[in-house]
Amino acid sequence: MAFQQPPLPFDPAALKPYGMSAETFEFHYGKHHKAYVDNLNKLTQDTELADKSLEDVIRVSFSDPTKGGIFNNAAQVWNHTFFWNSLKPGGGGLPTGELAARIDSAFGSYDEFKGQFKTAAATQFGSGWAWLVSEAGTLKITKTANAENPLVHGQVPLLTLDVWEHAYYLDFQNRRPDFIDNFLNQLVNWEFVSKNLASA
């Protein structure tokens, strides 16, 4: 079965009042994400990877230098799907419940978490991702370059922010820090993060 591009969990125009335009999703979801799916299907067609789960393809191809193209496209399919679910119209603000308690325990306070996350996202040189992960039951902030993600390091992803330029350039130009602030203040889907934490 060919790998599929899941639908966006919101209308492409739904985030416009919160800083992300429909035009961004036209390009980011409609062209970039779709191209990763199409390329992955071409690269895995008639191979032993064609019937594996996306997560298995990511883990197998990451450890095989001959499968770099497969890894890059598979991981980007996964990363983007995870990113869309990290967003919601009118999100952001403070987490609640168990998630809030775990963030306070791991980082000292939400403000400290926010500062560390902003630093990770802003200092990822070039293209990549900022993540909140669970590793051996401990919450951590990490960043990865290009397509790399926490799955290949034995970590459980809880939240991500895409800091490739195509994620923000149409709306924020070169102002990555403003894009990061907007994400944390207006877009984070804390319910999705809490669900990931509960199943970690």
Q: What is the mean pLDDT of the chain?
A: 97
pTM, 2 dp:
0.97
Please give the DSSP secondary-structure letter assigned to residue 160.
E
Per-residue pLDDT tens for 154-177?
999 999 999 999 999 999 999 999
Q: How far is CA 100 from CA 108, 132, 190, in A?
A: 11, 13, 10
Which domains does the chain show, CATH number per domain?
Answer: 21-85 (1.10.287.990), 97-198 (3.55.40.20)
pLDDT at 1 over 70: no
Q: Which tens digits make up the pLDDT trace of 90-127? A: 999 999 999 999 999 999 999 999 999 999 999 999 99
